[in-house]
Amino acid sequence: MVMRLEALDKLLEVIEKLDFGSGKGRRAYSGESVKVGGAVLEVTARQSETQDKLQLTADLHFSQHPVSGFIQSAATEAIHCYHLARLHSKYRRQLEETRQKWLTCSNCVRLMEENRELRERLSNIKAQQLSTGDKINTGCQTEDAYQRESDIELQESIPDERGEEDEMVECPEIPLPCAEGPFGIEERADEKDASHKETCPVCVESEKEVLLLRRKVEELEELQVVMEEEMKEELHGKMSSVQTQHEKELEKLKATCERGFASMEESQLKGMEELQHQHQQEVERLLVERDRLLEEESAATATAIEAIKNVYQLELEREVQRRCRSESSKGNTHLEDMCRQHSEELASYQRELEVLSQQFSLKCLESGHLVQALDAERKALCQCQQENQDLRTRNQELSGHLAAEITRLCSLAKQDALPLSQGMDRYEMEITLRVKESEGQCLKQEITSLRDDLQSAQKAKRNATKKYKDMYTELSITRAKTEREMDELRENLRLAHHALDQTSP
């Protein structure tokens, strides 16, 4: 039983490999067997040994099992399929040999070469049409329609040519292109006319169809040229309109920017005038206050000097009275010398005190002036910083406005002229780059000017502070020196009084 199943599996594998068990395979190879009836007899004679072996196998299985009839029929069908496969391969070899013999015809070879060249030119035309793209959509649709018509006609003509080839067996099948290229048509026309009378009937019909296709290709080329010219004119008109509109928008943008810059300049001038006016008022107020302080300090200094003079005058009168009393009582010459020396010292001390008082007043005035100048510089620095902040804010507003205008113009340009999107994007990038560069340069200039102003203000502040410190130090030294001299003067007066008291009776 196992051996029977193995034999059945082998037969089924042979049938599946040959794939001739179906009705389709039998119909196909029945047609082929009709064409090559003589060859069937030869193959049957040569393969009699294989048939005998398969027949013995079928008889063996039929005698050993009730269902061996099915196996026998399958084996018989496998034998026939094997015969048909051998006949089919032999027929294909004979057909190839016959076709190679037919290819020796010079006209057929020439027509096949022309057919190949025309196919290459057709592929070139299709590539050119695809490269034009959306610009010649209408022309492409018309050309596709003509190509479909020519394909239908050629598909109808190709079976006729194949039928004539099988019947006449004079020249092989010549496939025709769907369309012809635009190059080399006139150069090969003379050669075809010269050899037209010598070709076979199938070649004549092929040449007629080729001429018909050439005329169609020429019509398509003319239509393509016309459509390209129309598309170029339309594209040129759109380009000019878009360019004109873009120039108008640029002029509007320039006018808007100029107005913005003019308004900004006007506002800056107004702000500068207001600052100058405020500065002038502040200077006048400071001058008035300085004069008032100078008058007050001068009055106080004069009062102090007058008080000192009065004190010294009183002391001098007392000393003179004492001297007079001493002279009247004793007439001591030594006291006269001492009084005279003392009076001279008092006069010199008084002169020195007046000079020191004047110097002190001048130093006080200079210190007040330096303090006022320092305050003015601080206020000017604060005003410059505020002005810089205002300018930056205004610059940011103008930059935002300019960017918004450029974005709006770009959106309008993209909506009006989509084919010019790449050029417009590049132009937008150039405009934006230039605007950003100008903004960066302006900001750099403003930063440089503000840095210079800040450095000059800081330098003036340092100079004023240094000068103020020097004057304050000098004033402190002068004050200490004056106090020390006054203490010495008081000590001398005390000693003089003490000496007078001792010499008096």
Percentage, residues of the chain above pLDDT 90: 0
Residues 81 and 112 in one domain: no
The model's pLDDT over 460-488, given as tens digits with 9 standing for 90+, comes to: 778 877 877 787 787 778 778 877 877 88
The string of DSSP letters for 40-96 reads HHHHHHHTHHHHHHHHHHHHHHHHH-TTHHHHHHHHHHHHHHHHHHHHHHHHHHHHH
If we measure between CA atoms, which residue out of 295, 306, 420 comes closest to residue 354?
Answer: 306
Query: Which residue did the predictor score with more confidence, 330 or 176?
Result: 330
Residues 202 and 277 in one domain: no
Residues 265 and 335 in one domain: yes
Of the candidates 52, 82, 101, which is a domain's last residue? 101
Residues 428 and 315 in one domain: yes
* pTM, rounded to two decimals: 0.25
Q: How far apart are CA 416 and CA 403, in angstroms?
A: 20
Q: 19: pLDDT confidence band, cut at 50, 70 and 90?
A: very low
Residues 442 and 322 in one domain: yes
Query: Which residues span the domain enclosing 141?
Result: 107-241
Q: What is the pLDDT of residue 197?
A: 42
Q: Which of 103-107, 254-258, 378-382 bottoms out in mean pLDDT, i.e. has the lowest?
A: 103-107
Of the candidates 101, 130, 148, which is a domain's last residue? 101
Q: What is the pLDDT of residue 173?
A: 38
Residues 97 and 147 in one domain: no
Q: Which of 118-127, 188-197, 256-265, 297-306 bottoms out in mean pLDDT, i.e. has the lowest?
A: 188-197
Q: What is the pLDDT of residue 413?
A: 62
Residues 32 and 157 in one domain: no
Residues 6+ apart with CB under 8 A from 224: 129, 136, 139, 143
If we measure between CA atoms, which residue out of 31, 40, 133 comes closest to residue 80?
Answer: 40
Residues 26 and 123 in one domain: no
Residues 496 and 348 in one domain: yes
Q: What is the pLDDT of residue 397?
A: 80
Q: How far apart are CA 294 and CA 365, in angstroms?
A: 7
Give the SS3 label for residue 353. helix
Of the candidates 241, 259, 293, which is a domain's last residue? 241
The model's pLDDT over 366-392, given as tens digits with 9 standing for 90+, comes to: 777 777 777 777 787 788 778 777 877
- Please give the average per-residue pLDDT across 92-99, as a whole number: 74
Q: What is the pLDDT of residue 436?
A: 73
Q: What is the pLDDT of residue 387?
A: 79
Can you list the positions of beta strands (E) in 249-351? none
Residues 97 and 111 in one domain: no
Q: What is the pLDDT of residue 168?
A: 38
Residues 93 and 158 in one domain: no
Q: What is the pLDDT of residue 263?
A: 84
Domain total in the chain: 3
Residues 306 and 443 in one domain: yes
Question: Does position 325 have pLDDT exceeding 60, yes or no?
Answer: yes
The amino acid at 362: L
Output the average pLDDT for the chain.
67
